[in-house]
Structure 1
Amino acid sequence: MNAPLRVLVVDDHAVVRRGVIAYLDVLDDVEVAGEAADGTAALDVLAQLATLGRLPDVALMDLQMPGMDGVAAIAEIRRRHPSLQVVVLTSFGEIERVHAALHEGAAGYLLKDAGPGEIVAALHAAARGEVFLDPAVARRLAQEIRAPRSGLRALTAREREILRLVAEGRSNKEIAAKLVISERTARTHVSNLLGKLGLASRTQAALLAIREGLVPPSG
């Protein structure tokens, strides 16, 4: 018989985490290797398991978590443990989150209303090196390919918020303090929105925001 698929469950909600573990525990072909409440804890657990030579095959991970969130954790897990696949299980299906997770190396993206069978299918697909997407997420990706967004429509809600702050003359440090994010994250958001808008500077971004009515002109 094949060895059971070893899975690490990562979610900051204990009730959700215990529910997922309870379901996986009854499966003959799946073994829960451990659990963690956020990205940092997941990395600690993985480091301990790797030392014991018992690294899981797949991590089933939420995205919205305190401290190190899922996207950052995916990137770090894939960097430290390239053989370990990550499947996202989250309540949020916005296309920006999907892109971010897949960009960092996620091998699957599920919404929390997914059925148990879908979760197991996604875990096994990831272990085989395949990508498994929630049907609703797959439809959104297909729609985006057919009708890509441009201009301000291409920005996420967070990027539009940051564009407004840029137009107000806020620095990356001030934006970070205002939104309670790191300065590095603020800088990344600014860079991303400039790229999406095809702009070369914060001044151009500010002028665009004023022209589009995101902020009133000064004076």
Structure 2
Amino acid sequence: MHAKQVRATIGLVLVDDHAILRQGLRSVLEREDDLVVLGEASSEPEADAVVRATHPDVVLLDLKLSTGSDFEGLSLCTRLSASHPEMGLLILTTFLDEELVVRAVHAGARGYVVKDVDTTELVRAIRIIATGGSAFDPRSAAVVVRSLSGRSEPHQQLTDREMEVLRLLAAGFSNNRIGEKLYISSTTAKFHVGNITRKLGVSGRAEAVYAASKRGLI
């Protein structure tokens, strides 16, 4: 009779501002014999404290941790990566934005998956990251490959959402009005405007509209 192969236990911390989502994740992940949720957090300060107390192998981290900031998780990712370099950071979020994926990688994330990922793929990603590897779902992986190969020409990489924001910029809308029109927060609108100006190589909103017009984007 063959002995059953036993996997090394992987300790996890879940960081998300929605308790129901954390509970659902815990329920799904702890069905796996080798995955143990050591703690949960809903904010940056809680995450710092829980990680210090539990020393997890992998942290599953959402990018949006409060109503005040849509991408607070990026700063947390940067800090955790610097203070716990041996720990794996996996971004699990609703956002699939080219700029966000690249920024998350630069912030120290070893993986990036969108929340509609299949459970099997999520578990696989966690196991890969726990062993020091990198794991991205197919969509985010394509972004990373383009970035690393140097084929991301800024003015060619405006997302569909950024194009929507750009058209509203051209109409003279403020961040608040853009948010209202697109059903996003003004913080998110400001984030997209910042991406647009950076990608177009300009420093202001008016310049962005002018540059986009010259390039035939609007």
- TM score, norm. by length of structure 2: 0.70
* Cα 1:159–1:118 shift into 2, 3 Å: same
Query: Is it true that 1:81 corresponds to 2:84 in the alignment?
Result: yes
1:1-80 alignment, distance < 5 Å: 3-47=8-52, 49=53, 54-66=54-66, 69-80=72-83
Q: Partner of 2:12: helix, strand, or coil?
A: strand
**Contact kept in structure 2, 1:36 and 1:42, CA below 8 Å:** yes
Cα deviations across residues 165-219 of structure 1 (Å, max 9, x unaligned)?
Answer: 6997xxxxx979x97549xxx69974x65553344778754642565686xxxxx
- Letter of the 1:24 partner, please give it: L
Residue aligning to 1:154: 157
Q: Partner of 2:32: helix, strand, or coil?
A: coil
The count of aligned residue pairs is 201
Gaps of 5+ in 1: 169-173, 215-219
Q: Partner of 1:18: helix, strand, or coil?
A: helix
**Contact kept in structure 2, 1:40 and 1:73, CA below 8 Å:** no
Cα deviations across residues 65-103 of structure 1 (Å, max 9, x unaligned)?
Answer: 316622222112112222221111122222222112111
- Residue 133 of structure 1 is aligned with which of 133, 136, 143? 136
In the alignment, the residues of structure 2 paired with residue 31 and residue 158 of structure 1 have an alpha-carbon distance, to the nearest angstrom, of 39
Give the superposed CA RMSD.
Answer: 3.7
- Letter of the 1:46 partner, please give it: V
In the alignment, the residues of structure 1 paired with residue 108 and residue 7 of structure 2 have an alpha-carbon distance, to the nearest angstrom, of 26
Percent identity over paired residues: 29
1:108-127 alignment, distance < 5 Å: 108-127=111-130
* Cα 1:56–1:213 shift into 2, 3 Å: closer
- TM score, norm. by length of structure 1: 0.70
> Which sits farther off after the overlay, 110-119 or 66-75?
66-75
> Which sits farther off after the overlay, 67-76 or 106-115?
67-76
- Letter of the 1:148 partner, please give it: S
**Contact kept in structure 2, 1:98 and 1:109, CA below 8 Å:** yes
In the alignment, the residues of structure 1 paired with residue 217 and residue 7 of structure 2 have an alpha-carbon distance, to the nearest angstrom, of 60
Structure 1 runs of 4+ with >6 Å offset? 162-168, 186-189, 200-203
**Contact kept in structure 2, 1:93 and 1:137, CA below 8 Å:** yes
- Letter of the 2:66 partner, please give it: P
In the alignment, the residues of structure 1 paired with residue 163 and residue 84 of structure 2 have an alpha-carbon distance, to the nearest angstrom, of 31
In the alignment, the residues of structure 1 paired with residue 205 and residue 118 of structure 2 have an alpha-carbon distance, to the nearest angstrom, of 45
In the alignment, the residues of structure 2 paired with residue 194 and residue 111 of structure 1 have an alpha-carbon distance, to the nearest angstrom, of 26
